[in-house]
């Protein structure tokens, strides 16, 4: 698993997807830059999300709010007082950990044991194997599962009660039961606020303390009534946005999984009080379907319903994805009640109510939100697509099987040789296709090598112009995943590519 993750990181660099930020100065921890292919993949994921959420829903509109907001926003939202991570230091290794992440890592060890048992049993039982039933009936596996659940429950309760001594005690117990850090010498658990501060204004006296937004959601809440009125929106309706958020993460590791500067894609859905549970269930289902539509494997997703709820929520669930380092949160679906709007009403002194003409009453709507990290989605797509494929002739090929709709380049066009007018024809094809798709031209090296280069970069189609093209206006089109090659008329290229890469 670790090896696979290392491969993902080095492949992302080698093929121009992700670079460490400020690399020439040895980088900045947990900050990354998207390179030529990465920026394109990221844009395509963002557009795939925007289309599904905004374009396809008559009652959802999109906005683009600022990163800077009035500082009182973060008082009202609870971030100044409650946006904390519990931290613990290991006195021997001098390493700092997020206590909750550390505890989840211990539970992850139990999950790994379960997966091993499941794999063994699946081999033994063959086709008749029923995973759910096996987990529910095998005493050893059930034992691991119950233990994991009990640990998470105790952690949730202790954090909720702010019983930080018990969080420390739990870590100490777990370290003895299944050593992870190899040391027992811990400090107390302390809370640490995650917001980055900055200043607005030139002189020291008049400067105003600001925060870089730690989530995009508040930009939507403060604009709720403006959008509702100017867009003549009727409840239920949603406001979506994508944009940067900043968190001073302490345990910043795992590449772009946990960054200090990252991008969120959020949608806040405003509903009538009392109907939030139904909408919450519906959005869980809708969002899972969105993920499955990319064809990255049903088994790679699972829901994790929260026991420990944030101060604003009455229900919350994560869609977890199987990353190279195990199942982790990819997206959160939260029923946020009327907490935010109510609090902004109080702090701003402005009414944030919706007048319901049908029922002739006004109320503060409840909110169900879907919140996904664009960078995490990028990592999910990228790591899941990278394959080392064994070929029939005992060689292997590295192929990045990105969903075609998300691939940065849709087709590469090659002249078989650099003469006889073939480059000119290839260029003409590019000139024609580039209006609809991202395409590239490549004439360097043997065609086989060029195919491999595009396989590894994730390009779904390669088009080769050869001497026959001059006779009959046909070319070879090769499919990345099947490596199948077909002879087709140039005039059909557009529709063949469109059939695979369109949403
Ligand atoms: P975690 O528990 O992993 O810290 P969270 O529960 O704090 O995440 P939310 O506040 O619910 O996350 O944010 C919504 C989404 O934003 C997450 O599901 C994740 O995809 C993304 N996200 C949050 N923090 C980061 C980060 N530091 N780097 C990249 N993506 C992030």
Task: Render pLDDT for 117-164 as a digit per residue (tens, 0 to 9).
Answer: 999 998 988 888 888 888 888 999 999 989 998 999 899 889 888 899
Convert the pLDDT of each residue in 63-119 to its tens digit: 999 999 999 999 999 999 888 889 999 988 888 898 998 998 899 888 888 989 999
Q: 426: how many CB neighbours lie within 10 A of its CB? A: 23
E strand segments, 260-314 = 261-271, 301-305
Distance 72 CA to ligand 1 centre (A): 23
> Can you tell me whether residue 47 is helix, strand or coil?
helix
Using CA atoms, how far residue 441 sits from 137, 428, 470, 477, in Å, is: 57, 11, 18, 14
* CB of residue 372 inside a 6 A radius of ligand 1: yes
Element at 276 (helix H, strand E): helix 276-292
Tell me what pLDDT residue 336 has.
Answer: 95
* CB of residue 317 inside a 6 A radius of ligand 1: no
The closest of 286, 324, 317, 282 to 303, measured between CA atoms, is: 317
Strands 461-465 and 411-415: what pairing?
Answer: parallel
ipTM: 0.97
Residue 335 pairs in a beta bridge with 315, 368
Q: What is the sign, positive or negative, of the torsion defined by CA atoms of 144, 148, 150, 151?
A: positive
DSSP letter for each residue of 126-161: GGG--HHHHHHH-HHHHHHHHHHHHHHHHHHHHHHT
- The parts of the chain modelled with pLDDT lower than 50 are none
Ligand 1 pocket test, candidate residues 98, 373, 378, 380, most atoms within 8 A of CB: 373
Residue 440 pairs in a beta bridge with 412
- Write the CB contacts of 197 (distance below 8 Å, at least 6 apart in sequence): 209, 210, 211, 212
Tokens of 372: 């996904």
* CB of residue 114 inside a 6 A radius of ligand 1: no
Residue range 409-501 forms a domain whose CATH class is: alpha beta
Q: How far apart are CA 501 and CA 391, in angstroms?
A: 26
Average per-residue pLDDT in the chain? 94
Tell me what pLDDT residue 206 has.
Answer: 76
Residue 396 pairs in a beta bridge with 390
* CB of residue 105 inside a 6 A radius of ligand 1: no
The closest of 304, 296, 293 to 330, measured between CA atoms, is: 304
* CB of residue 264 inside a 6 A radius of ligand 1: yes
* CB of residue 214 inside a 6 A radius of ligand 1: no
Tell me if 373 is assigned to a ligand binding site: yes
Tokens of 154: 């105790």
The closest of 482, 446, 486, 438 to 463, measured between CA atoms, is: 486
Contact 229, 76 (CB under 8 A): no
Q: Span 1-72+195-388: which CATH code?
A: 3.30.930.10
| Domain edges within the chain | 1-72+195-388, 84-193, 409-501
- Write the CB contacts of 170 (distance below 8 Å, at least 6 apart in sequence): 103, 151, 154, 155, 158
Torsion of CA 280, 281, 284, 290, to 10 degrees: -110
Using CA positions, which residue lies closest to atom 18 of ligand 1?
Answer: 331
SS (H, E, C) 163-213: CHHHHHHHHHHHHHHCCCCCCCCECCCEEEECCCEEEECCCCCCCEEEEEC
């Amino acid at each position: 698993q670790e090896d696979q993750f290392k491969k993902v990181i080095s492949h992302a660099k080698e093929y121009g997807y992700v670079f460490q930020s400020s690399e020439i100065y040895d980088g900045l921890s947990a900050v990354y830059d998207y390179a030529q292919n990465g920026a394109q993949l990221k844009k395509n994921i963002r557009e795939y999300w925007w289309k599904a959420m905004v374009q396809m829903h008559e009652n959802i509109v999109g906005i683009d709010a600022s990163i800077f907001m009035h500082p009182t926003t973060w008082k009202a939202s609870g971030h100044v007082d409650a946006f904390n991570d519990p931290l613990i230091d290991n006195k021997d290794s001098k390493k700092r950990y997020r206590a909750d992440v550390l505890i989840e890592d211990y539970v992850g060890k139990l999950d790994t044991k379960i997966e091993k048992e499941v794999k063994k049993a699946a081999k033994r039982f063959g086709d008749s194997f029923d995973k759910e039933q096996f987990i529910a009936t095998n005493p050893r596996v059930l034992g691991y599962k119950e233990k994991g659940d009990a640990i998470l429950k105790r952690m949730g309760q202790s954090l909720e009660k702010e019983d930080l001594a018990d969080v420390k005690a739990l870590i100490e117990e777990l370290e003895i039961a299944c050593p992870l850090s190899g040391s027992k010498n811990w400090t107390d658990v302390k809370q640490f606020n995650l917001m980055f501060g900055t200043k607005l204004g030139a002189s020291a006296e008049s400067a105003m303390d600001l925060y870089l937004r730690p989530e995009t959601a508040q930009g939507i809440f403060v604009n709720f009534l403006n959008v509702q009125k100017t867009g003549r929106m009727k409840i239920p309706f949603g406001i979506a946005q994508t944009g940067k958020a900043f968190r001073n993460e302490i345990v910043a590791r795992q590449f772009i999984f946990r960054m200090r500067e990252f991008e969120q894609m959020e949608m806040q859905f405003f509903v009538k009080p009392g109907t939030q549970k139904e909408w919450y269930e519906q959005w869980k289902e809708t969002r899972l379907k969105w993920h499955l539509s990319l064809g990255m494997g049903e088994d790679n997703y699972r829901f994790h319903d929260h026991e420990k709820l944030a101060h604003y929520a009455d229900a919350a669930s994560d869609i977890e994805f199987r990353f190279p380092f195990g199942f982790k949160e990819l997206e959160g679906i939260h029923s946020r009640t009327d907490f935010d709007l109510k609090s902004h009403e109080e702090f701003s002194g402005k009414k944030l109510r919706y007048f319901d003409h049908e029922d002739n009453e006004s109320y503060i709507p409840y909110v169900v939100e879907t919140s996904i990290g664009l960078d995490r989605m990028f990592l999910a797509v990228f790591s899941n697509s990278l394959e080392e494929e064994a070929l029939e002739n005992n060689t292997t090929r590295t192929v990045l099987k990105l969903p075609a709709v998300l691939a940065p380049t849709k087709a590469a066009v090659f002249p078989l040789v650099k003469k006889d007018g073939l480059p000119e024809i290839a260029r003409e094809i590019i000139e024609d296709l580039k209006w609809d798709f991202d395409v590239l031209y490549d004439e360097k090296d043997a065609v086989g090598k060029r195919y491999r280069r595009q396989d590894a970069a994730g390009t779904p189609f390669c088009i080769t112009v050869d001497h026959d093209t001059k006779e009959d206006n046909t070319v070879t089109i090769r499919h990345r995943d099947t490596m199948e090659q077909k002879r087709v008329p140039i005039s059909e290229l557009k529709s063949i590519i469109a059939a695979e890469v369109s949403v």
